[in-house]
């Protein structure tokens, strides 16, 4: 969803998601935890910014 709504933040979130999966496979829990947090925050910001842009365009343009 984040990639669709705001790609500049959604694409890095996808990258960190892949790093999290790889770290989980290698049992590197600390790295997986850090990447998981980054992925979550990037997804949230991308979705909020994307929705904000959509609302702005609908209401004011």
Q: Average pLDDT for consecutive 10-residue bins of the chain (61 residues)?
A: 84 91 92 91 92 95 87
Query: Residue 3: its pLDDT value, please?
Result: 81
- Cα angle 48-53-54, degrees, rounded to a multiple of 5: 100
Query: Residue 50: its pLDDT value, please?
Result: 92
Token representation of residue 26: 């290698």
CB 5 within 8 A of CB 51: yes
Query: Residue 49: its pLDDT value, please?
Result: 94
Query: Residue 59: its pLDDT value, please?
Result: 96
Query: Residue 18: its pLDDT value, please?
Result: 92
From CA 2, how far away is CA 61, in angstroms rounded? 23
How many Cβ atoms are within 10 Å of 42's Cβ, its own excluded? 22
How many structural domains comprise the chain? Answer: 1
What range does the domain containing 43 cover? 2-60
């Amino acid at each position: 969803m984040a990639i669709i709504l705001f790609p500049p933040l959604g694409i890095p979130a996808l990258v960190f998601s892949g790093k999290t999966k790889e770290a989980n496979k290698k049992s590197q829990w600390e790295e997986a935890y850090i990447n998981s947090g980054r992925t979550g925050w990037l997804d949230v910001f991308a979705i909020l910014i994307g929705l904000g842009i959509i609302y702005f365009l609908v209401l004011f343009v």
